[in-house]
Amino acid sequence: MINIAVLGYGTIGSGVVEVLKTNGESIRKRAGDKINIKYVLDIREFPGDPIMEILVHDVNIILNDPEVKIVVEVMGGIEPAYSFVKEALLKGKSVVTSNKELVAKHGAELLDIAKERELNFLFEASVGGGIPIIRPLNQSLTADEIVEITGILNGTTNYILTKMSDEGMNFDEALKDAQALGYAERDPSADVEGYDACRKIAILSSLAYGMQVDFEDIYTEGIAGITDVDIKYAKKLDARIKLFATSIREDDKNVYAMVAPMMIRANHPLYSVGDVFNGIYVRGNVIGDVMFYGSGAGKLPTASAVVADVVDAAKHLNKNIWTIWSSKKLELIDINFVKHRFFVRADRKKASISDMKKLFGEITEVPEVVKDETAFITPLITEKEMKAKKEHISGMLGSIRVRF
């Protein structure tokens, strides 16, 4: 029997307990031994829930119990999660976590501690919910140099954009739904402003390039500025708006990363990724394109990835599974020099098409969706050029990057 402890009995923690109960027998066969939850840590009480029998409020009971071999951290946030996880590793326990904030900030250090002690620090559930992406990057795509990772990495915003587009729901209604379904973060601005996707692309990039990509360096825009009018324009263009988290290695070594809404058409592999689903598109220099798709958020999909890591940790109790993620910082290219095409809307009285032609040169006009608006797509220009040109568009109503 392998004893584990679960830190946090929220959405994911209760999912982990449920998955281990539902699939206990097949999990036992795969892990080679029974996985027993000896403790659940939470500050709250859960009257009437059988979990009360193993509920503790003091983490030291877990940390000081040598019978606990694997600690599952599903509390979220940096503190006290970081202190608990570090202490657990220092006390000889492997750790499994779904906590992207923790992994993005302290992943390199925690992996090092685990490696020095022949333990494991596993975090499959931190990116893409139930989709296997961390393990494929570490163990399957190892023959390749990764040149691009582009993902729809946030289920909540993908759900909101899909509902706005397919059902004409408004932003707030769709967000409320996502919260009720357990997809959204406690502070939904983490989803809406793109911070969650930013941490996830930082983790994937660090693993792909083997160096520390600081999430603070990643240019991040969320979907708060996307309106129903933008969605109508996207439809007119046979396009959809998706929140993309991208990291691209240009000319063999320079990497840039960004999170921003993107207009894409049906020829893009992520076009059909709707609802709460996530999709991650990886390009390697040898393999070419690979796609990962599945449930990107929610109790059971995320718990499934957590428990799969528990199984892996159980199978490698005294053996570190090597992961290359050095704490050496990868300097990203300044986003100002990255090129995109932009869809632009402006008040026609203040910015006519001929004014815009003078400003941008070759533009693609977009048929009218809203009366008295000028709408067009710019040629390929740098972010810096776009910023400068925006200053000259009086009556500017909005812009969205375009990938077609």
Which positions touch ligand HSE (CB under 6 A)?
Answer: 129, 154-156, 183-185, 191, 196, 296-297
Q: Where are the alpha helices (DSSP H) in 41-194?
A: 59-63, 81-90, 100-116, 134-135, 155-167, 171-180, 189-192
**Residue 200 appears among annotated catalytic residues:** yes
Distance CA 313, CA 321 (A): 9
In the complex, the smallest distance separating the C-beta of residue 49 from ligand HSE, rounded to whole angstroms, is 23
In the complex, the smallest distance separating the C-beta of residue 182 from ligand HSE, rounded to whole angstroms, is 9
Distance CA 40, CA 63 (A): 12
In the complex, the smallest distance separating the C-beta of residue 285 from ligand HSE, rounded to whole angstroms, is 29
Q: Which is nearer to ligand HSE, 129 or 279 (CB)?
A: 129
Q: Which is nearer to ligand HSE, 175 or 338 (CB)?
A: 175
Q: Which is nearer to ligand HSE, 282 or 306 (CB)?
A: 306
Active-site position among 93, 105, 163, 200: 200
Helix (H, G, I), strand (E, B) or coil at 72: strand
Distance CA 298, CA 335 (A): 32
Task: Count Cβ atoms below 10 Å from residue 358 Cβ, excluding itself.
Answer: 10
In the complex, the smallest distance separating the C-beta of residue 293 from ligand HSE, rounded to whole angstroms, is 14
In the complex, the smallest distance separating the C-beta of residue 324 from ligand HSE, rounded to whole angstroms, is 24
In the complex, the smallest distance separating the C-beta of residue 204 from ligand HSE, rounded to whole angstroms, is 13
Which residue, among 7, 18, 4, has the nearest Cα to 49 in the 3D structure?
18
List all residues 6 or more positions away from 76 whose beta carbon is below 8 Å from its beta carbon: 8, 10, 98, 99, 101, 185, 186
Q: Which is nearer to ligand HSE, 8 or 129 (CB)?
A: 129
Q: Are 190 and 196 in contact (CB under 8 A)?
A: yes
Q: Are 335 and 384 in contact (CB under 8 A)?
A: no
Q: Which two tokens stand for residue 293?
A: 């798709």
Q: Are 151 and 278 in contact (CB under 8 A)?
A: yes
Q: Which is nearer to ligand HSE, 194 or 343 (CB)?
A: 194
Q: Which is nearer to ligand HSE, 123 or 342 (CB)?
A: 123
Q: Are 101 and 126 in contact (CB under 8 A)?
A: no
Active site residues: 200
